[in-house]
Amino acid sequence: MRKFFCALGLLAFGMTAIGADKNGATPIFDGKTLAGWKTLGGGADYKVVDGTIVGSSRPGIPNSFLVTEKDYRDFIFEFDVRQDVGPTNSGVQIRSLSTPDFENGRVHGYQVDVDPSPRQWSGGIYEEAQRGWFYTGEMNPPAKALYKFGEWNHYRIEAIGPRMRVWINDAPAADLIDDVTKEGFFGLQVHSVNTAEEAGRTTSWKNLTVQTKNLKASPPMGIFIRNNLPNNLDADEKAQGWRLLWDGKTTRGWRSAEAEAFPAKGWSLANGELAVVSKGGGGDIMTDEEFSAFELQVEFKVSAGANSGIFYLLTSPKDPASGAPLGLEYQILDDERHPDAKLGIDGNRTLASLYDIYPRAKLMTNVGIAPRIDAWQHARIVARADGTVEHWLNGVKVLEFKRGSDDYRAHVAAGKFKSTPAFGEAQKGRILLQDHGDAVSFRSIKIRELH
């Protein structure tokens, strides 16, 4: 993917070329000055040194950005980046903005991460100052090893329509579909630091080129696709085996857990949301189909104090022993306000836990990952044929267990399902969305069967 530019010659100070290459990629840094760029945000130092842009951190100032004076819509943006002093977090803004009506001009928009920390989320996609993380390093684990601290790393970013994809050193890092911001500037971030010991940490960039005409998307990346368009399936998602489990409009494929028909009350299908009406009395709903090994994605939104759940491998709407639906439950809860979060054992009734059996891991607090009320969140459940199950929340795996194992059975025996024989060990079952009487909404319900 890397482009080698045809020009009158390479400048002695680096690999910056003059003019456009044969594909139409044009340099946006002349190798000598910061012409065409301006600084926004904090007061980090940006200088041109030996044909590279070098940004240096200063303690006690906000995130700083060297941004293009020109805005870009659809593009292929390539650059090389290196960090030698640090390490320190950084990133490159794309389709980003600075407007007086947003926090007095604070830079905001999509950011492709440069992260040499132990977390290793380089290439992930974050929305600076707004919704937060969309594509974490956990969603494509092989990408965590791509970025090399102390070496030049080549980034390629394709933004064509709502699709934004990232490669590092010619290997896939992230694949996001999101259409909120369609145009904006590029920006080179120097992250804020707090101590004098962190001052002077540097990030360097060179070979910054952009192509805006005759764009041709690269072949499918073959990695997980995060699609933020409501109830939408991209062609590449379909090729990976995904399909919509709810069509976003009708009750097709769903029924009451207690009857053959869909509930006549208590559920709303307006605005592309499958929503529980607070105290509407509709009852639980479940799929017509049964599934064995599968991967499920659901976007959900909870109101303050709400309780609900996503049940899977459900074999009966009601377990005679416990009174609950007979299946495994991905807990949906407002942990801060609902008392259930403090019940159970070691937090095994909190959001994204396996209800009353396994607690989820401690959650990261980063924006876009930490739970939020009245905002869309992303649940992902992976149930494999060997009994292994994963719970994901907002792009991070928070729980893994194996059905039927000694450890699993010991956890079951300690809770409310101890009197149910072989609880949760069915080979197949339905998907159920719980009506617990609280306002909760679902959308973008997708499934693919695993083999």
pLDDT 10s digits, 109-151: 999 999 999 999 999 999 999 999 999 999 999 999 999 999 9
Question: Are 162 and 290 contained in the same domain?
Answer: no
Place 286 in a pLDDT band, splitting at 50, 70 and 90: very high
pLDDT value of residue 394: 98
Is residue 432 within 8 A of residue 316, CB to CB? The reply is no
Give the sign of the dihedral formed by CA 48, CA 54, CA 56, CA 61.
Answer: positive
pLDDT value of residue 87: 79
**Over pLDDT 70: what percentage of the chain?**
96
With a CB cutoff of 8 Å and minimum separation 6, the contacts of 323 are: none
Which of 6, 33, 36 has its CA nearest to residue 22?
A: 6
Place 15 in a pLDDT band, splitting at 50, 70 and 90: very low
Full residue range of the structural domain in which residue 243 is found: 232-449
User: What's the CA gap between 164 and 279, in Å, rounded?
Assistant: 41
pLDDT value of residue 200: 80
pLDDT value of residue 171: 98
Is residue 268 within 8 A of residue 277, CB to CB? The reply is yes
| Residue finishing a domain among 154, 176, 211 | 211
Q: Can you tell me the mean pLDDT for 191-219?
A: 90
What CATH number did the domain enclosing 272 receive?
2.60.120.560
Q: Can you tell me the mean pLDDT for 426-440?
A: 98
Contacts 24+ apart (CB under 8 A), 6-11: 11/51
Number of H helices, E strands in the chain: 2, 29
Residue at 120 is within a domain: yes
Question: Are 146 and 295 contained in the same domain?
Answer: no
Residue 106 token pair: 């604070």
Place 199 in a pLDDT band, splitting at 50, 70 and 90: confident
The overall average pLDDT reported for the chain is 94
Place 19 in a pLDDT band, splitting at 50, 70 and 90: low
pLDDT in tens, 358-383: 999 999 988 899 999 999 999 999 99
User: What's the CA gap between 26 and 17, in Å, rounded?
Assistant: 9
User: What's the CA gap between 182 and 71, in Å, rounded?
Assistant: 10
Number of domains into which the chain is organized = 2
